[in-house]
Amino acid sequence: MMTLSLNDDLVNATPVVPKPYSHLHLWIVGCGGTGSFLVQLVCRIARELIRSGNTVDITLVDPDLVEARNITRQCFCEAEIGLNKAQVLAARYSLAWGLPIQAVPEPFKGRWVARNALTVLLGCVDNGTARRELANALDLANHYPDTPNAWWIDGGNHHHSGQVLVGSTLSTNPDDFQFHPELGCLKLPAPSIQAPELLLNSVAQPSHPPLSCVEVATLDEQGLLVNPQTAILMAQMLAELLTGKLKRLATYFDLTSGTMQSEYTTQSAIIQGLQQREGGIHVV
C-alpha cells in the first residue's frame, strides 16, 4: 500500500466557513467540455443537501448548440445535436433526479445573481469575457466586510492538464483576508485575483496558448478525460465548501505525469500568493 506524505500547509490549513444557509443557488456557467460532465455531480450534491432540509436551486447557462464535434469530448449524444446545451442538460437531469433545473440559453450576466441566498458560481468557460462577468457577479453580490454571499469555483484545462480555483473576494489587500479569531477563514481571493490572466481574452488558461476547448479538440490535442477530471475536482471543492471542510484555494493537475498540486488555506499562503500576483508573478 502506498504511503502518502502530507504537505505542512495542509496540516496547518484552516477550513473555509461559508455564510450560514438554508437556501442555496448553484450556477453552472458554461455547459460544454467541463460543464456538461459537472451537471450530474452537482445534482448528486444537491440531492444530499435537500435531504438535509436545504432548498437548492440549480441554473445552467450556455448560449451554444450541441455540434457533431462535441459528442466525443462533451457529455452529449447524437440525438442532441442542434439543441441548446443548457436546455438539453436541464431536461435530462431534472427528469433523472427529480430536481427543478433552470436553463438559460444565453451568455451569463453578473447582474443575474441575487443577494438573498448563498450562491456558488461554477465557471466552466474558456474566455476572458465570460470570466469577467463571473467576477462582476462577485462584485455585485458581496460587500466588505460582510461574509460573502457568492463564491466562484473556476475550472480550466489545456491538453492534459488543468486547474481549479475557488474564491469569493476581488480585493488584493492582505488585510481583507485575515482569519476570524473564532470562525477561521471566511473569504478567499477570487480566481481572477489568484490568476489575473484568466480575464484576458488572449489567454485561455494560465500559462497556456490561446486556444479554446473546441479549437484544441479540433487539433486532436486535448485528452478525452481532462474535462471530466476538471469537473470532479470542481465538484469536490463545492462539496467541501458547503460542508465547511474546504482547506484549499487552488489545485493544479497533469494527467500525463499523474501529478496534482494544491495551494492550501493558511494565512501565510494567502498573503504570499497575493504579494506574488500583485508583483506580476504567477507560478503554476
Mean pLDDT over each residue of the chain, to the nearest integer: 89
Mean pLDDT for 224-231 is: 95
Rounded Cα gap, residues 277 and 260, in angstroms: 21
pLDDT the model gives residue 7: 67
Rounded Cα gap, residues 121 and 29, in angstroms: 7
Rounded Cα gap, residues 4 and 262, in angstroms: 14
- The dihedral built from the CA positions of residue 253, 109, 87 and 24, taken in this order, carries a sign that is positive
pLDDT tens-digit profile of 15-36?
Answer: 999 999 999 999 999 999 999 9
pLDDT the model gives residue 207: 44
pLDDT the model gives residue 146: 80
Mean pLDDT for 34-61 is: 97
pLDDT tens-digit profile of 165-219?
Answer: 999 999 999 999 999 888 899 999 999 999 999 999 854 444 444 445 555 444 4
Domain ranges for the chain, please list them.
11-278
**Does the domain spanning 11-278 belong to CATH 3.40.50.450?**
no
Rounded Cα gap, residues 162 and 229, in angstroms: 9
pLDDT the model gives residue 212: 55
Q: Please tell me the pTM assigned to this model.
A: 0.90
pLDDT the model gives residue 275: 85
Lowest mean pLDDT among 52-56, 180-184, 252-256: 180-184
Q: Binning pLDDT at 50, 70 and 90, where does residue 260 land?
A: very high
